[in-house]
Amino acid sequence: MTPKLVADLEPPYYTAVFTSVRPDAPEGYAETATDMQERVAEIPGFLGYEAARTPGGIGITVAYFRDLESLDTWRLDTAHQAAKAHGRKHWYDSYSVHIGKVERSYSFERA
């Protein structure tokens, strides 16, 4: 199966780029990640996400939102806040979050 990228979004929209360092398979992480994916998908204005992880433990997740209000809804979600607190205590060695406004976007896909 070929991974599918988020593409053809009409700017402007916003990104939340979450870059982290953590062990490959910490206990409880997969279940929480699945729950968070389901929760964020329910937020009006959520457009999708892409994620990648290196064998060395560096991960990058880019989430796409139509506007800052939808991104703030996710940031303030109580279950998301609890997952972040648990992650800081148990899973992540470090992480950073970068919020950006996309003003131009294009993509390519081989036919």
Per-residue pLDDT at 102: 98
Torsion angle (degrees, nearest 10) of CA 69, 75, 77, 81: -170
Q: Tokens 């997740």 map to which residue?
A: 61
Sign of CA dihedral 107, 3, 76, 19: negative
> What CA–CA distance (Å, rounded) separates 44 from 89?
30
pLDDT of residue 1: 47
Three-state DSSP at 99 gives strand
Ranges of residues in the chain whose predicted pLDDT is under 70: 1-2
Residue 67: in which H helix or E strand, if any? Answer: none
**pLDDT of 2:** 54
